[in-house]
Amino acid sequence: MAVSSRVALAMGLGAILLWSTSVGTMRGITEHLGATGGAAVLYTLSALLLFGITKRTPLKSFPPVYLVLGTVLFVGYQLCFALAVGLARNRSEAIEVGMVNYLWPSLTVLCSALAMGQRVGAALLAGLALAFAGVVVACMPAHGFALAGFVAHAAGNPLSYGLALGAAFTWALYCTVTNRLARGCNGVWLFMALSAVAFWALHLLKPGASAMHWSLPAVSQVLLAGSAVGAAYALWNLAILRGNVGTLGLAANATPLLSALFASLWLSTALPLSFWAGAALVVVGSVVAGRRG
C-alpha cells in the first residue's frame, strides 16, 4: 500500500514520540530484570516485532563493509546505551546519562561533515559547544554551578557516564556509515536481533548474574518498551522514505526534552530547574549544529 507524504510524516513524528520513552522504560525494566537481563528481554521482543513487520533485505544484497560496520556500530550503541541507563546509581542519574546520549544529533552532523570532506563551520562548532554545555548544566549538582562540580559528579559513576558518551559517538558514526554505505539496504531487523544475542551472552556469561524478578509490572513494562522500540524503528524507516526529512530532522531535535519529561513522569522523579535548562541547551545546540553554517 502506498504511503502519502503526510502519513509518512505522521509516522516519523510517532517514531520520535516512541523513542522518547526509551530512557524511562529502560530504567524501569532494569530495576526488575537487571541491566543485562532486562536489555536482553527487551531487544529480543523488539527484534521479533521488527522481523514480523519490516521488509527484510536479503543478506547477499548488503555491501559487505556496511554489514560489518553497521552490525558493530548498531550493537555497540545498544550495549552502551542500555548499560549506561541500567548501571546508573539511581533514577535521577539514569535520566542524566540519557541526556548525555542525546549529544548524538550534533555529533552526527560533525561526523557527516567530516565524512563528506565538508568545512566544519562556525555554526557547527557553536552548536556542539552549546550541546556539550547543556549536558554539563543538566548533570551538574544542584548545590553549585562549576565545571569541577560536574566532573566530580560524573566521576562518582564513570562507567555509566562514559558508556553514555560512547553511545552518543557510536550512534553518530552508525548514522554516518548507514547514509554513506548502506545503499538502501535495511538491516535494522538483523542488527536488533544481534543486539539481543549480545545482551543474552553478556547476561549468561557475567559472573554472579542477578536473577530476573518477574512480576506483572515487569511484564507490562517489557511489552510496552519492546513494542515501542520495534515500532519506532519500523515507522522511522517508512518516514524517511516518503516523508519530509527536513521536518523530521527538526522535530527529532525535541527528543531530549520529550525523553526527560517522560522519564521524569514514568519514574516519578523530580528534576531541578538546572536540568531542564541544560536539556534546552542540548536541543538548541542540535538545531544550531544542523545549520552547518
Q: DSSP for 214-246?
A: --HHHHHHHHHHHHHHHHHHHHHHHHHHHS-HH
Contacts of 252 (CB under 8 A, 6+ apart): 16, 105
Domain map (residue ranges) of the chain: 9-291
Would you state the pLDDT for residue 209? 58
Residue 9 has pLDDT above 70, yes or no: yes
At 233, the pLDDT band (50, 70, 90 cuts) reads: confident
At 12, the pLDDT band (50, 70, 90 cuts) reads: confident
For the stretch 156-161, contacts whose Cβ atoms lie closer than 8 Å and that sit 24 or more positions apart, written own/partner, are: 156/89, 157/87, 157/88, 157/89, 157/93, 159/87, 160/83, 160/84, 160/85, 160/87, 160/88, 160/89, 160/93, 160/97, 161/84, 161/96, 161/97, 161/100
Residue 121 has pLDDT above 70, yes or no: yes
Angle subtended at Cα 277 by Cα 273 and Cα 281, rounded to the nearest 5 degrees: 165
Q: How far does CA 46 lie from the centroid of its chain? A: 14
DSSP3 helix / strand / coil % (the chain, rounded to 5): 80, 0, 20
Cβ(109)–Cβ(124) under 8 Å?
yes
Mean pLDDT of the chain: 85
Residue 1 has pLDDT above 60, yes or no: no
Would you state the pLDDT for residue 210? 62
Would you state the pLDDT for residue 51? 87
For cell 526488575, name the residue: 32
- Give the rounded percent of residues in the chain with a pLDDT score beyond 90: 36
Residue 154 has pLDDT above 70, yes or no: yes
Take residue 129 and report the three cell numbers written for it: 559547544
Residue 293 has pLDDT above 50, yes or no: no
Taken in order 60, 61, 63, 69, the sign of the CA dihedral is negative
Would you state the pLDDT for residue 146? 63
Predicted TM-score (pTM) of this structure: 0.89
Residues comprising the chain, all counted? 293
Distance CA 78, CA 44 (A): 12
Take residue 256 and report the three cell numbers written for it: 531530549
Tally of CA atoms within 13 A in the half-sphere of 285 that contains its CB: 30
